[in-house]
Amino acid sequence: MVNGPAANDAGSSRGYRRIVIVAVALACVLAFIAAGLAWTARLVHIGNLDAHALAEKTAAPSPASALDWPELRLRSVIAQPSGPPLVLLRVGWPAYPRREATLLVAVARGDKGSLSLLSEWCAASASISPVLRYGGELELRRRQSLECVHAVLIAEDGTPDA
């Protein structure tokens, strides 16, 4: 049996290790809680964006434009191979399958990310929320996400009633 200063050093060493382990475990738990709160705040923010967009769209009883529809689905995305960065978007309203429109939009020159996002959304049949801003600026945001594409609306064809 060891008595004296050597026994005290071993005991204090074990106590120090326990304190460090408890501190690290507590730090991990706090980091996990903070990450959960951040993720929850992100989901609430996205939900608020979706609710706000839907409230704006339902305020107009009969939409005159495809941009007034509460939801769009991209049916095709056709980019101009050369010249100005123009993209032709064939869109539909999922609630009324016979309603379709064609939008001609201009994306920023050299912006390859927007075209790839639009193509990805088209392939995935993603739900898109359109918002027309001042000066013809168009924002297409994928629902339940913060992904968005900014463009300028050049033209839109008529939207037949179904």
When divided into structural domains, the chain yields a total of 2
Task: State pTM to two decimals.
Answer: 0.66
Residues 91, 17: one domain?
A: no
The strands making up 86-93's β-sheet, listed across from edge to edge, are: 73-79, 86-93, 96-106, 148-156, 137-142, 128-132
Last residue of a domain, one of 24, 43, 59: 59
Question: Which amino acid is it at 75?
Answer: R
d(CA 28, CA 18): 15
Residues 70, 141: one domain?
A: yes
Residues 78, 135: one domain?
A: yes
pLDDT in tens, the chain (162 residues): 556 555 566 667 888 889 999 999 999 999 999 999 999 888 888 888 777 777 766 666 677 788 888 888 999 998 888 766 899 999 998 888 888 999 999 988 777 788 889 999 999 999 898 888 887 788 898 887 888 888 999 988 865 554
In a domain, 17, yes or no: yes
- Whether residue 74 contacts residue 90, with contact meaning beta carbons closer than 8 Å, is answered with yes
Last residue of a domain, one of 21, 36, 59: 59
- Whether residue 76 contacts residue 119, with contact meaning beta carbons closer than 8 Å, is answered with no
Residues 35, 74: one domain?
A: no
Which residue range forms the structural domain that includes residue 98?
Answer: 66-156
Residues 88, 145: one domain?
A: yes
Residues 122, 100: one domain?
A: yes
In a domain, 32, yes or no: yes
3-state helix/strand/coil string of 128-145: EEEEECHHHEEEEEECCC
